[in-house]
Amino acid sequence: MTSTQYQRGAAGEYYVIKLLEDKGYKTIRSSGSHGPIDILAAKGASVEKNHRLGVQVKKSEKHRMTTDEEQKLMEWANLFEALPVEAFKQNGRWAFRDLLMGELMEL
């Protein structure tokens, strides 16, 4: 059976949720999202931005965020006092990029 683009995207989001939860984050998925944030994640009682993430999930390095998508994610993440993060597949593994620093990050 062929999966739809939505099913592949949702599967990627659920996998990223599992990775985040394994690192101690609590998560909320924006189901059927066409908005800038796919997943909101928070860890601990800290009010520091790096303990709250606004995550946009992309299925591969080839399908990365556009400049406009990055700007919208940064605006929305700021509303939630969260760090804007792009999650994408790189060489078969999930990678996470901090949009404010413009570099890969560890969870």
Q: Is 29 strand, coil or helix? A: strand
Q: How far apart are CA 88 and CA 63, in angstroms?
A: 8
Q: How far apart are CA 107 and CA 13, in angstroms?
A: 16
Q: How far apart are CA 71 and CA 100, in angstroms?
A: 10
Look up 30 and say whether it is catalytic: no
Catalytic hit among 3, 30, 31, 33: 33
Q: How far apart are CA 100 and CA 86, in angstroms?
A: 11
| Catalytic positions, written as ranges | 33
